Each structure stands twice: as C-alpha cells, then as structure tokens.
Amino acid sequence: MPDGLINLTVDGVPVSVAPGTLVIEAAKQAGVLVPHYCYHPGLPVAGVCRMCLVEIEKAPKLQIACATPVTEGMIVRTQSSQAKDARQSVLEFLLINHPLDCPICDQAGECELQDFVFQEGRAGTRYAEYPKRFNPVEDFGPDVLYVANRCILCTRCVRFMEDVAQEPVLNVSERGDRAYIGIHPDARLDHPWAGNVVDLCPVGSLLSKDFLHKARAWELDKSASVCTGCTQGCNVTLDVRDNVIVRVRPRPNLEVNRYFICDHGRMSYRWMNRGDRIEAPLVKQDGELRAVDWDEALDRARALLRGTRGRRGRGGAAVAIVSPKASTEALFLARRVLAGKEREHEWTGAFQVTMGEEAPLAGVPNLALRPERAPNVKGAELLGYTNGVSSALRVAQTAAVVLVLDEPDVPAHGAGALIYLGVTLPESARGADIVLPIANVAEEEGTFVNRDGRVQRYFPAKPAPGMARPAWWALGELLEAPDRPGSAAEAFDLLAGTVDAFAGLSYAALGVTGKGIGQGAGVPA
C-alpha cells in the first residue's frame, strides 16, 4: 500500500485515499454514490442539504459525508437503517414544498431529486397540500430563468457566483419556508461563465432559455467533444436530437476546464446545424462547378497535384491556407499532400484566427475564454503553419497549387490549381478547380491541441450530410496508395511517427481527457 494513504472501509469495501479526502469522495472509490444535493466537487462545501447522512462506527450520531474527512480505520455504512431513514426524512421534507412539474420540467430525466426519490424515498407523503406559492418564473439574465417553487436551496448557484466566478450577485433571501434564491436588484446574471449555474442546479429550478422545451432528456444522444470556441480546449458533451445539436454542456476534465465552460462556448453550436452544406464533390467543367462522385473528384485532384509538382522547382510553389478549427490530422495530411513525406517539395502553410477579449473564470487558475477564437492554433503551429496569411497570399498569386482547408476567405490566385475542402461553399471558392465536401467537428472524430499543448480527442455526434466525408479522409485519399490512412487513428499515428512534437503519443492512449505533447515541445507529458 503506498505510504501516506488513509485506509478505511465503506460498506464493507476497503479503500485507500489521500489524507483530507472527504467521506463522500472516498465512497466513490468503493463504487458507492452517496446521495447529495448541496455538495459538488468544484464548489466549497456548504453542508446544508443533509442528504448525505451516513453512519460512521464510533461516531455518536449520523455524519454528513460531504464535510467529514476520512480517518485511519474509519468504518462507514451508507446503507444502515438509521442512515436510510434519515435520508428518507430529508426527501420527504423536500417534497412537501416541491411542485409536481415533472411533465413540463426541462430537468425531468436528469433530475437528482427524481433519481434519489426513486432510489431512497418512500412511496407516499404524509402531507396533502402544497404550500409554496412564489412567482412562477424569474428572469435572472440573458440565458437563465429561475423557478423558485422548484428550488431546494442547495446554494450551488450562490457558491459558484460568489467563490468561483467571484461576482456575488446571488444569495439566499428570507428564511425558513419563505427562503428563495435572490439576485441583487441592480445586477443581471450576465457574467461570461454564468450559464454554469444551470448545469450545477440539481433540479429544474435554474433553466436555460436557449434549451427551454427543446427536448426531453431521454430523447438526447450524447457525445464527448471539445469546445471549438477558443484555444482553452474545454471538454464538452454535445446533446443531439434528431441529428440536430440542441445543447452543449461541460464535461469534467480536471486538467483543462474542471467542471465548467464559458457561455461563449456553450452557445457556439448553431453553425454545426447549418443547412447550406456542400453535399457532393464538385469539379470545374466548361467554366462551371458540376457535381461528381468521389472517385472522379479524387482522380482529378490527384492529376492536378501530379501536374503541379514538376513546376515547383521552376519557381512554382504550393500554398495551404487552413482553418485553425480543422483537426490535427487534417492539418498534417494537408501539409503532407503538398510537401511530401520529407518536405521534399516547396510549400507555404498559413492560417488566420479571429481574436476577441479574454474572459477568465477568476476562481479557477488557468481557465479562461481565450482571445484566440479557435481550438487548434497550437496544433497548426506545431505542424509548421504560420499565424497570419499575408505572406502566404502573396505566394498564392504565383503558386502552382493552392489548397484551402475550410477557410472561407479563399485567396485570389494566378494560373495555378485551386483545391477547396469545405463545409460550406463561400462565394470566393466558386472559382476553385475542385471542391471537396467535408464533415464538421460534430460529424467526425479527430484531435485538437489546446494552448497548453494537450492533445484531446473529439467524437462524432451526428452523421454528415450527403456525401461529405471527414477532412482527414479526403486529404488522405490524395496521398499515394500505401500512405493513405484508413481511420482517424491511423492518421494520428502516422502524424505521431513523423512530427517530433507528437512523438510517443498514440490515438488510443489519448483516452477521453487527452495527454500533453511531451517535454520536447516544452509541455509536461
């Protein structure tokens, strides 16, 4: 057993945890979820809901697991008759004043009150009336509604705004059965990270206006992804109904965003549902773009690339203008298509990134909405692309081939070939020789590298429309046959075996929380 650990038993299961660990967290190591409402691992302990009562041997009375640190030899019983009776009493007390809004409540199916009543509660109540009568809905801010009648006063929202956001605009107003969550009369819940109070609320008291009545929880398909809003690379879950993204929620990653995401990232999903998509490959015939199948489009693209390679040594060049929202695999393969295996061909690669204001979450170190509003700026830089397209645009005027990867501002070019890979077709790309339709981030899998050099995977949430395919596949098909990757995993492993900064990484080892790119690039592994 490692030195310095505390040994205890939870429901007969021996566990060893670090000193200072709370009983509620130690129980998780034993596979036991102690019911709770006010406790959240990302917030200061309040100990107000009394739902996590457990029996601890030799303690004179029941203890709350959320505020009791472990001790050596402690024996915890979460399912003793005394503990279960106490938790039933807490639930009965909460349900006295809770309305039967489940049929119309957005939280139904994800409600911790529903879950624990089903798991712990009694079949009926000893009370016949519902006495609470607050105003039905309060408007707290741009995206937050408050339904006071459903509130169980766990105070998670108050503690988030006070201790994490460090903008204390919420409080518990009044006392006893008249208590409710109040907001400062001169304030709005418009902090850049305020939307997290909706995620933190264990019941349907705090609601998102954006998600209101869009779907029931059991209708949603959920996929792990990475936020594309900035270089922080926050881990998120995409919720999909009928192949439409309807909600973005934070996914815990203690190394990147802990349990939170900013409102900019939360709301930046509608572009994933755009209907004006390129749904088939296009090639220029008689001066116009015409739809063809993938085989014909790829054959034409390969022929163009073969025809331009001989011209590069006589002053011609290859230029790649790429989006920093493209996957690391696509960026690598775009470079490889133009520069070859060992960069034996002259090429120039560049990207441009939209900038904004930084918005930190004050209570969490190294967590902010970053000024660079794209997820893969670091990945593009590690692969040799320069930030800024001015010089690349000048080269494009005389380039033998220009490849544009999902960048709407397609550069004007001379007599060379223009190959455009995109999700939609901007007006500036209508002069391309070949247009290849690609999937967006919600329709493919791949990786991004965040500002701290952490490589993180994202997963598909819905199918791509028409004949659109992942960018890594389309670019991989332009390589010689032996080098074409058959999956995103093969594309990444080809990258890791070629680019020093990614050495030692494998697609499978990244898991769902990612890994650092290694000491070679100055980032901890």
Q: What is the pLDDT of residue 310?
A: 60
At 33, which CATH number?
3.10.20.740
Q: Last residue of some domain: 249, 273, 297?
A: 273
Residues 434 and 484 in one domain: yes
Q: What is the mean pLDDT of residues 287-310?
A: 91
Q: Which domain holds residue 74?
A: 6-93
Q: With bands split at pLDDT 50, 70 and 90, how would you rate the model's confidence at 297?
A: very high
Q: Within a domain: residue 124? A: no
Q: Within a domain: residue 256? A: yes
Q: Last residue of some domain: 253, 273, 293?
A: 273
Kindly report the backbone phi and psi dihedral angles of residue 30, in degrees, each rounded to the nearest multiple of 5, phi listed first: -95, 5
Q: Within a domain: residue 315? A: yes
Asked whether the predicted pLDDT for residue 110 surpasses 90, the reply is yes
Asked whether the predicted pLDDT for residue 380 surpasses 70, the reply is yes
Which amino acid does the sequence have at 74? M
Residues 53 and 139 in one domain: no
Strand partners, 360: 368
Residues 175 and 308 in one domain: no
How many domains does the chain fold into? 3
Q: What is the pLDDT of residue 525?
A: 35
Q: Within a domain: residue 112? A: no
Q: With bands split at pLDDT 50, 70 and 90, how would you rate the model's confidence at 522?
A: very low
Residues 177 and 69 in one domain: no
Q: Within a domain: residue 100? A: no
Residues 152 and 265 in one domain: yes
Residues 402 and 426 in one domain: yes
Q: What is the pLDDT of residue 126?
A: 80
Q: What is the pLDDT of residue 355?
A: 97
Residues 155 and 263 in one domain: yes
Q: Within a domain: residue 158? A: yes
Cβ atoms of residues 410 and 430 within 8 Å: no
Residues 41 and 61 in one domain: yes
Three-class SS of 24-42 = HHHHHHCCCCCCCCCCCCC
Q: For Cα atoms 130, 136, 138, give the angle at the middle one, nearest 5 degrees.
A: 140
Q: What is the mean pLDDT of residues 438-461?
A: 98
Residues 516 and 370 in one domain: yes
At 445, which CATH number?
3.40.50.740
Q: What is the pLDDT of residue 483?
A: 86
Q: Within a domain: residue 122? A: no
Q: What is the pTM of this model?
A: 0.93
Q: With bands split at pLDDT 50, 70 and 90, how would you rate the model's confidence at 363?
A: very high
At 231, which CATH number?
3.30.70.20
Residues 348 and 438 in one domain: yes
Kindly report the backbone phi and psi dihedral angles of residue 154, in degrees, each rounded to the nearest multiple of 5, phi listed first: -75, -20
Q: Last residue of some domain: 211, 241, 273?
A: 273
Strand partners, 208: 144
Residues 437 and 300 in one domain: yes
Q: What is the pLDDT of residue 239?
A: 98
**477 CB-near residues (< 8 Å, 6+ apart):** 294, 298, 484
Residues 452 and 344 in one domain: yes
Asked whether the predicted pLDDT for residue 458 surpasses 80, the reply is yes
Q: Within a domain: residue 106? A: no
The Cα–Cα gap between 408 and 321 comes to 10
Beta strand 446-449 with 434-437: parallel, antiparallel or unpaired? unpaired
Q: What is the pLDDT of residue 129?
A: 72
